[in-house]
Structure 1
Amino acid sequence: MKFLIQLFIKTCIETVNLTGMLILIGFLLGMLRNYSVRNFQRGFGSKAVMITGFIGVPVHELSHAIAALLFKHRITAIKLLQRPDVNGVMGYVEHSYNQNSIYQQVGNFFIGIAPIFGGIASMIGLMHVTIPETYNNFVYILMKNVHVEVIDKSTIMGILYSYLGLVKSIFSIGNFENPHFYIFLFISICISSHISLSLADIKGASIGLTVIFFILLILNIFGLSKYIQAFNLIKYNILITSFLVVAVILSLITFLISLSLVVIRKN
């Protein structure tokens, strides 16, 4: 019995190490998104969500669709943009898959969280085109942090300071003088306003997460966990976090802008 409990705990820890940061930041992005949309609607009315949705929703849904194709799911229906229905749904991707395929079942997790990475990729690509100096700073920070071998207080503080530098780089005087910066800011607001996961996304991702857990459990049962341990989880989590932080920064900027608009409107 003690062995089974230890096995279960070990598998839970490994599952959290692999997916915990994605889930945690996914919920944070969802919270920021909900407050931002609420503020935009308070400032500009119910149609405000369509202004951001015009760009943000297609990016969200295309991310699902691309991930579904990568994991060999069959897309049965897709709607890139519509007026919010009674449940607030502005777009959807319906897909089917072979339930006997472990690869396709695991794919449910990545299809569910795909809008986070699709949104991040879109914003980083936009950064590269519109404010290349800031993009170069981001790449420098990414390369610097990915070489971290040990996580301790000084390392964490160093990573936080590096991303504080990224925020300063985004809002540099040079960027404010660059008209392309305002294009970047507007499109990033649109994307980050719809980057979070819907209940349907979370439900789909949870199916894949369950399969990932059982795969890790089986590996541990047969003593194959050495392959998991050989995987450098520190570098993996820092790399994943480096990309996710970009989404958090831009979502936080979106929230602050939405809050400012509410204050201005009240005054």
Structure 2
Amino acid sequence: MNFVIELLLKTCIETVYLTGMVILIGLILGILRNNSIKNFQRSFGSKAVMITGFIGVPIHELSHAIFAVLFGHKITRVKLLQKPDENGVLGYVQHGYNQNSIYQQIGNFFIGIAPIFGGVFSIIALMKIIIPKAYSSFISILFGSLHVTALNKSTVEGVMNSYLGLIKVIFSLKNFENPYFYIFLFAAICISSHISLSSADIKGASKGLGVIFIILFILNALNLSKYILSVDLIKYNILITGFLMIAIILSTITFLISLFFVSIKN
């Protein structure tokens, strides 16, 4: 009995190591997104969501569609953008899969969280084109974090200070003198406003998460996980966190802008 309990505990920890940071950041992005949209609607009316939605929603849905194809799912219907329905749905991707395929079942997790990565990739691509200096700083921070071998107060402070420096580079005076920077800022806000996961996304991702847990449990039971999880999990999580920090930074800025408009209206 103790062996089973230890096995379950070990599998839970490994599952959290592999997926926990993405899920946590997804939840934070959801909170920021929901509050930002509420503030924009209070400031500009119920249709304000379409202001950001015409860029953000298609990228959100295309991310689902691309990952669905990568994991062999059959896409049956796609709506990249529509007026909010009675449930507030702005777009959707309907897809089916072979329930006997472990690969396709695991795919549910990645298809569910796809908008986070699709949104971040889109923002980074815009950054590289419009504000290349900020892009170079981001890449330096990202790869610099790979040298971290242990998590402690000094390393965490060092990483956070690097991202504070990135914010200064993005919002430098020189960038505000560049007219294209405002295009980047608007597009990035639109994307970050719809980068979080809907309840349907979370429900779909949870199916794949369950399969990942079962696979890790079996690997642990056979004492094979040490070969699969030989990658340094600390570096993996720092890399994932660093990659997603762009979404956190821009979603926070979007939230602050929404608060600004609410204060003006009041």
SS in 2 for 1:94: strand
Q: Deviations over 1:196-222 (max 9, x none)?
A: 101110000000000000000000010
Counterpart AA for 1:261? F
1:95-244 to structure 2, matched below 5 A, reads: 95-244=95-244
Q: Which amino acid aligns with 1:192?
A: S
Residues 35-65 of structure 1 show CA distances to partners (whole Å, capped at 9, x for unaligned) of: 0000111111111101100000000000000
Equivalent-residue separation in structure 2 for 1:188 and 1:217 (angstroms): 40
Counterpart code for 1:80: L
Distance in 1 separating the partners of 2:224 and 2:197: 33
Task: Find the counterpart in structure 2 of residue 50 from structure 1.
Answer: 50
Equivalent position of 1:260 in the other structure: 260
The 1-side partners of 2:114 and 2:59 are apart by 10
Structure 1: gaps of 5 or more residues: none
**Cα deviation per residue 1:82-135 (whole Å; 9 max; x = unaligned)?**
000000000000000011110000000000000000000000000111111111
> 2:147 aligns to what SS in structure 1?
coil
CA offset at residue 25 of structure 1? 0.3
Percent identical residues = 69
Q: Which amino acid aligns with 2:68?
A: A
Q: For residue 25 of structure 1, what is the aligned residue in structure 2?
A: 25
Q: CA deviation at 1:231?
A: 1.6
Residue aligning to 1:8 = 8
Distance in 1 between residues matched to 2:158 and 2:40, nearest whole Å = 34
The structural deviation recorded for 1:149 is: 1.3
Q: How far apart are the structure 2 equivalents of 1:54 and 1:211?
A: 34
Following superposition, the deviation at residue 229 of structure 1 comes to 3.9
Unaligned ranges ≥5, structure 2: none
Alpha-carbon distance in structure 2 between the residues aligned to 1:263 and 1:3? 57
Q: State TM-score, norm by structure 1.
A: 0.98
Aligned residues: 266
Say what the alpha-carbon RMSD is for the aligned residues: 0.7
State the secondary structure of the residue aligned to 1:78.
Answer: strand
